Structure 1
Amino acid sequence: MTLDASSPAFPSPRRRASARKRRRMMIFAVIGLVLAAAVALILNAFRDTLVFFRTPTEIAERGEAPGARLRLGGLVKQGSVVHEGTVTHFVVTDRKNDLAVAYTGMLPDLFREGQGVVAEGSVGQDGVFKADSVLAKHDENYMPKDVADRLKAQGEWRPEGAGAAPK
């Protein structure tokens, strides 16, 4: 048996180039799929953390897993602040739902009942939000924009001293 240049044992230069192109295209396709999967995973991980805070209603609706880090925003409920040594217990409300908060440490000077607050921490097994930092409003007319916008959207937020509904 004789082998000539047209037999399968000796692929033509055109076939070799075509096989290289297919192999190169497969490598690019695999790299593209891996990159697309990595981007999708990163965006999925960021989806829940891009929000500056969650209201008590959003936390109740989502059923956050105990220990998951998040920010809680709303108003400090009137009559809810209780100091026990270095631990302060208070309730954050969006006037639809309430969430009990326990914070160990010194509160900001401007922290008081009826004012806007954002607390960072996690919900414990007992359903109490364990805050490790608390941010309060910084002047008489300020409430975190996200908090005010969400309360206004629910028709619940009214600036101090105003009896009218929000605009």
Structure 2
Amino acid sequence: MVGLVAAAGVATALVATALQRNVAYLYTPSEILRGEASERARFRLGGMVAAGSFKRTQGTLDSQFRVTDGDAELAVAYTGILPDLFREKQAVVATGRMQGDTFVAEEILAKHDETYMPKEVADKMGAAHKKHDVAAPGGAEPAR
């Protein structure tokens, strides 16, 4: 009986550790630049692709762009095929890690139009708009 309880405890600890490693917290560029995200940790970056910031290295799948939350912008580097819906001035969520001053993305998710973005991103960007007394662009509403 004691062995069964011990085995269940070990299994629970292993599952909890695995889940914790796979959790990717969402941060905005402002939060990252304030040092709220660990430089070694894998996390999600959320915001809008800054206008005029997208560049692709000719003949490669390497791209660079900036993500903004209305308060700050953060450089992003990505190698791979971008989603069809990826555009400047659109909501984006990137998963990856910081390398120096650049966020190196492993995965990019783009939303179907400017009126939709993840609730976490919408809430954080709404706070930035309110702080700066600026109307939300395009009347963006959080996802429900």
Return the TM-score normalized by structure 2: 0.71
Q: How does 1:68-83 map to 2 (within 5 A)?
A: 68-83=41-56
1:93 matched to 2:68? The reply is yes
Change in CA separation of 1:83 and 1:55 when aligned onto 2, cut-off 3 Å: same
Q: Which runs of 5+ in 1 are unaligned?
A: 1-34
Q: Is contact 2:24-2:44 (8 Å) kept?
A: no
Question: What is the deviation of 1:159?
Answer: 3.5
> Is residue 54 of structure 1 aligned with residue 12 of structure 2?
no
**Is the CA contact 1:151–1:157 (under 8 Å) kept in the aligned structure 2?**
no
Instruction: Report the secondary structure of 1:134's partner residue.
Output: strand
The DSSP-based 3-state class of the residue aligned with 1:62 is coil
- The whole-number CA distance in structure 1 between the counterparts of 2:44 and 2:71 is 18
Which is bigger in relative contact order (C-alpha 8 A, separation at least 6)?
2
Residue of 79, 85, 93 corresponding to 1:110: 85
The answer on whether the counterparts of 1:56 and 1:99 sit within 8 Å (CA) in structure 2 is: yes
Whole-Å separation in 1 of the counterparts to 2:30 and 2:116: 22
- The residue aligned with 1:136 is 110
Give the whole-Å Cα distance in 2 for the aligned partners of 1:147 and 1:157: 16
- TM-align CA RMSD: 3.0
Structure 1 runs of 4+ with >4 Å offset: none
8 A Cα contact 1:108 1:134, kept in partner: yes
User: Does the Cα contact within 8 Å between 2:48 and 2:67 map onto a contact in 1?
Assistant: yes
Count how many residue pairs are aligned between Structure 1 and Structure 2: 124
Could you tell me which residue of structure 1 aligns to residue 121 of structure 2? 147
User: Counterparts of 1:5-24 in structure 2 under 5 Å?
Assistant: none
